[in-house]
Amino acid sequence: MSAVPVVEQDLERVIAGRPAVRPAGLDDDALLALHRSLVRLRVYDERSVVYHSQGRIGTYAIFRGHEAIQAGAVHALEERDWIFPSYRESAIGLLRGLPASTILQWWRGHPSGWWNPEEVNVASICVPIATHVPHAAGLAWGLALKESDAVAVAIFGDGATSEGAFHEGANLAAVFRAPLVLLCNNNQWAISTPLRDQTAAERLSDKAVGYGMPAIRVDGNDVLAVHDAVRRGVEHARAGEGPTFVEAVTYRSFPHATADDPSIYVDRERVEAERGRDCVAAYETYLRDLGVLDDEDVQTVREEALAELRAGIQAAEDEAPGDPELVFAHAYADPPPDLARDLEELRRVHER
Ligand SMILES: Cc1ncc(C[n+]2csc(CCOP(=O)(O)OP(=O)(O)O)c2C)c(N)n1
Ligand SMILES: [Mg+2]
């Protein structure tokens, strides 16, 4: 049996900066569209941290530094392809036309923070670690059974690779040759658990060999590298060849979420060094060197993104609060007696 390939990008070379060479298959418009997506995600994240500190959204999972993984992946897909995000990719639906207010409402715990996945081919934001991997594998298998040429991408963290659900989803996808890209955001932390305590494998991409699928390992701070890796996985899947595991290596140099204090477990020098490798700044430098982006363009894109967020939080806050009774709805056709009693109690408290 032939060995399953693990293709590894030369990570050291990329850390030194991407040379100003045009990538094949991406014209100026495509390069700038990718930049706009990176900035929209960055601004969404920056504003969300501020909104949280102002008490306008709840606990929020910060994704600063992960924008290249998210935008790189979305731009490698067609609109008919499906995205299965985790909480770390909460705003990825923006790039598929979801209003910012919808995603902000999700973080506000408002019922309008949920959407119909079929309208944008983006599944609900998944909080239980790795449970969306079997969902994505099943949906991708279903696409193939229906003879669609659409594919699915599931995005999850390094910690997710230790979960049973990851194993089940990856194995099922490989055995049934489901058109799936398993995109691992290896940010080297699962809250306070470092990668070395997560796995004894040298590289997460090595796990793909055990499932019989190819793997690609790239610098997750290099948006073009992620784009190229996911594009190759998508091509492989569309050709009926089954899933690919893509490991995008980055480093979580911001807190896990607004409720986390990493100062007690991270190495501050490492964090500072990693912040210096920012994925948005690196791409802007690359585009400037290519001569397709200038300061004015950067400012315009940023201002548009800020206006989108201002309008988004306004629209979210203008909505009437969700009905608390919804907490009791939709789970049971015939609610058990104790649930009915709890609902009575809720009404009694609200009437006071
Ligand atoms: C099944 C399950 N177990 C535990 C948790 C609590 N939890 C929330 S985030 C997290 C860490 C996940 O780390 P990783 O998969 O690397 O993703 P990252 O947050 O780094 O993007 C854990 C354990 C959870 N959400 N779901
Ligand atoms: Mg992680």
Q: Which residue's CA is the closest to the ligand 1 atom numbered 26? A: 128
Domains of the chain and CATH, by start: 6-321 (3.40.50.970), 326-352 (no CATH)
pLDDT digits 0-9 by tens, 134-180: 999 999 999 999 999 999 999 999 999 999 999 999 999 999 999 99
pLDDT at 14: 53
187 vs 15, residue with greater confidence: 187
Query: Which one of 158, 161, 191 would you pick to mutate in the ligand 1 pocket, going by the greatest count of ligand atoms within 8 A of its CB?
Result: 191
- Interior/surface letters 191-211, b for 16+ CB within 10 angstroms, e for the rest: eeeebeebbeeeebbebbbeb
What are the pLDDT digits (tens) for 69-83?
A: 999 999 999 999 999
What's 174-204 look like in SS3? Answer: HHCCCCEEEEEEECCEECCEEHHHCCCCCCH
Amino acid 18: pLDDT:
73
Helix (H, G, I), strand (E, B) or coil at 346: helix
Which residue of 62, 63, 64, 129 sits with most ligand 1 atoms within 8 Å of its CB, as the best mutation to test the pocket? Answer: 129
pLDDT tens digits, 267-277: 999 999 999 99
In angstroms, the CA 142 to CA 147 distance is 9
pTM: 0.95
Paired residues of 219 in beta bridges: 249
| Closest atom of ligand 1 relative to the 191 alpha carbon | 11
Residue 249 Cα to ligand 1 middle (Å): 17
- Under 8 Å between Cβ of 43 and 302: yes
Give the burial class of 27: count Cβ atoms within 10 A of its Cβ; 0-12 exposed, 13-18 middle, 19 or more buried: exposed
